[in-house]
Each structure stands twice: as C-alpha cells, then as structure tokens.
Amino acid sequence: MPVGVRTCLWLREDQASLARRLVDLASLEPVLAGSPRHARSRAVADALGIPAADDLRGVLTSADVDAVILLATEGLAIDDAASDVTAIAAAHARGVRLVSLEPVPASALEFASSAWSRWRQAALGATEPVQFVPRLRVGEAFVGAAEVLESFGPPRTLSIEAMAPPQAGSLGARLFSSLDLALGAMGEPETIDASYAPAQRAGSLVPQAGDSLRDLEGEMLALLRYEDGRHASIIASNVAGGWRRRVTMLGAEGRIDLDDRHWVWTNASGQAVDGGGRRDASDGVERNENGEALAAEAITDHLRRVFRRDPGESPIDLSTLLATAQAALLSARTGQPERPATIRRMTAAG
C-alpha cells in the first residue's frame, strides 16, 4: 500500500478505536475526520487528533485527500440523495478513492431511484459508487486458494458464517458480504428464505427488518435454494461479540474450509489434499474482547488491494446483489421464501 495516503475518516464516536487501528495498520495519513452525527464531528476528530470536517459533500467534492473511508454511512444518499450522489461522482472524477464498511447504496429500491441513474445507465465501467470493504470473497485465504477453488469446481453446498462487533459494521454489511460470496460461487438463487432476530435493547420495541441493509442490527439466518438442488446457508451477526468469517464448501471433490487466514481441502476419504495460509497461536481466539483487532486486520487487507487498484478483484453486480439482499429482508418479514429475480425485475421496471 502507498505510504501516506491522505485520508478523511467518517465515523461514529464508538468507532474511534477501530479507526486508530486502521490508521496504524494501513499506514494512513489521516488529515480530516467527521461524523454522520454532525454535532459529534469535533469529538471524533479530537479523539483522533486531527482537524474536523462536518460536511461530507464538501470533502468529496473539494478536500485535498486521496481517500475517504466511511466507517459509518448514516443518512448518506437518503435525505438529499441526488446531491450526495453528485458529490460521490465528483470524488470519482478527482481520483479520490471511496471506501465504506457499509453498502452504498443500501437497497435495491435506493439503487433503482433516479439519484443513482448515472451508475445504472452508464455503469461507470462497472465501478461501485463506494467500494465496500472487507469483501469475504477477496480475503487473504480466498485469494491464496484461487487456483484450488477452480480445481475443486462449483460447490453443491455452501455454508457461510459472518460475525462482527457493532463498530466494525452493521448486520446489513455482514449479509451483503456473505451474499457477494454466495453469488460469486453459485450464482443467483431461485429463492431465499430468511429469519431475522433484531438486537435487543432495553425498553425498546422489537423492530422488523425493513427494505434496506442500512443500520440493520442483530442476527440473520438465510437459506438460498437453486433450481438444480444446490443450496447455501448464511448465518450473520453484528452483535455476537467478536469477529469471525468461516466458509465451508461441499462438492464432488470433497470439502474446502476457509477462514480469514487459512484454507484446507479435504477429499471425500477424509484426507487433506492441499492447504495454505497463516496459522498462529491466536487463531480461533479473539485478541481483544470485542474482536476489533481481527476486524481491523481484515479491513486493512482489503484496503491494501483498494489502494494499489488491484486488477484481480472481481466487480460487484450491485443490481443482483441488492435484489438478493432485499429478497432476504422481505422473506424475514413475510416468513415465506422470496425470489431475487422478481425483485430485480420490479426495480428494473421502476
């Protein structure tokens, strides 16, 4: 990663510790900090020891930065979506790298709105408006196992587990990353059947899943079914008290298990065929109480790819991914399996 990437950090107060870890691990040069909760911009900047910014659009359009890292996206492209999207386009035109721990836009309905028409129609070279990190499918172990995964062939069964502490992203972010991997490995499912358990807060009403991944908190279990009998499962949480990403693929050639650092291919007879990655004494054990250190490592690993403009990173098909995520949210409300293709057609028509 280039040293001294002049960066604006956009975060909540509870994310200051994570931001400091990213600055150190990624060798960032933080020059501005602000918060989507504008009254707290000075507090988060003071916590990082850098000047405050309270106008994200101004940062995107004219600030002297190389990158903007959005640890929090509350309100972005919602109240005045057209102005925010115009500012995002201006940042792209200036060569500023835009990175977020949350999906932007955060729903198929948002992406179908007139505000995002430039990205839908021109596709801007299939560029994400704001690059999501960390993507599970481009993590260290997945990149290291790329050739083996090709030899292994398409999985019949896929299991994904994605856990994070709240300061490392919402439940929506964990679902977005997990579905990105599932779509890349198996394609769009015929149906998705999901159940949502919201984060419990004393004295508050129990919310239902809405239409957006934005600010979603709690746990979700999802089952993806395919016409040919293949299937995938996802268990995701941002309140499980740690950081963990684990994947199991079952296929004709046996089983592949992956986590953030390590992978192993076991054949149908139970013999290890191949493996790789890093293992150390801390594997399987969070190195701090809330998993923040592990989350920072995973985010930094992806940031390195972003800042060196890694050509090997496959683009995200936002229309399909957001439609699949919206099908999961709808299923969690209706209690019935939902079809991503139906939502994709409806939003395309809109």
pLDDT digits (tens, 9 = 90+) for 151-173: 898 899 999 999 999 999 999 99
The alpha carbon dihedral of 319, 325, 330, 336 has a sign of: positive
What tokens does 220 get? 């979700």
The pLDDT value given to residue 237: 97
Once rounded to an integer, what is the mean pLDDT over residues 81-87?
92
Give the integer Cα–Cα distance in Å for 189 and 239.
27
Q: Residue 161: phi, psi to the nearest 5?
A: -125, 125
Pairing relation of β-strands 218-225 and 231-237? antiparallel
Half-sphere exposure of 82 (CA within 13 A, CB side): 1
Q: Which residues are CB-contacts of 271 (< 8 A; sequence separation ≥ 6)?
A: none
pLDDT digits (tens, 9 = 90+) for 15-60: 999 999 999 999 999 999 999 998 999 999 999 999 999 999 999 9
| Residue bearing tokens 């102005």 | 83
Question: Quick check: 3 pLDDT over 70?
Answer: no
**Band of pLDDT at residue 123, cut at 50, 70 and 90:** low
The pLDDT value given to residue 122: 58
Once rounded to an integer, what is the mean pLDDT over residues 210-215?
86
| Residue bearing tokens 């679902």 | 175
Q: How far is CA 289 from the centre of its chain?
A: 22
What tokens does 278 get? 């890093």
**Mean pLDDT of all residues belonging to the chain:** 89
- Strands of the sheet with 97-100, listed across from one edge: 28-34, 5-10, 67-70, 97-100, 131-132
The residue among 18, 3, 66, 55 whose CA lies nearest residue 33 is: 55
The CA-atom distances, in angstroms, between 347 and each of 71, 105, 119, 216 are: 28, 14, 14, 21
Once rounded to an integer, what is the mean pLDDT over residues 104-130?
79
CATH architecture of 5-100: 3-Layer(aba) Sandwich (3.40)
If residue 275 lies in a helix (H) or strand (E), which one and from where to where?
A: strand 272-277
pLDDT digits (tens, 9 = 90+) for 259-318: 988 999 999 999 999 999 876 544 444 445 568 999 999 999 999 988 887 655 778 889
The pLDDT value given to residue 179: 98
The residue among 141, 183, 176, 142 whose CA lies nearest residue 162 is: 176
Give the integer Cα–Cα distance in Å for 316 and 139.
15
Give the integer Cα–Cα distance in Å for 318 and 316.
6
Domain-by-domain residue ranges, the chain? 5-100, 136-299+306-315+324-330
The pLDDT value given to residue 286: 45
The pLDDT value given to residue 253: 93
The pLDDT value given to residue 280: 53
The pLDDT value given to residue 261: 87
Q: 4-24 b/e with 16+ CB inside 10 Å = b? A: ebebbbbbbeebbebbbbbbe
Question: Quick check: 232 pLDDT over 70?
Answer: yes
Cα angle 195-196-197, degrees, rounded to a multiple of 5? 130
The pLDDT value given to residue 29: 96
Q: Which CATH class is domain 136-299+306-315+324-330?
A: alpha beta
The pLDDT value given to residue 121: 67
pLDDT digits (tens, 9 = 90+) for 243-270: 999 999 999 999 999 998 899 999 999 9
Q: Cβ distance 178 to 234 under 8 Å?
A: yes
The pLDDT value given to residue 278: 74
Q: Of 174 and 117, which is predicted with more confidence?
A: 174
Q: How far is CA 334 from the centre of its chain?
A: 25
| Residue bearing tokens 């990205």 | 119
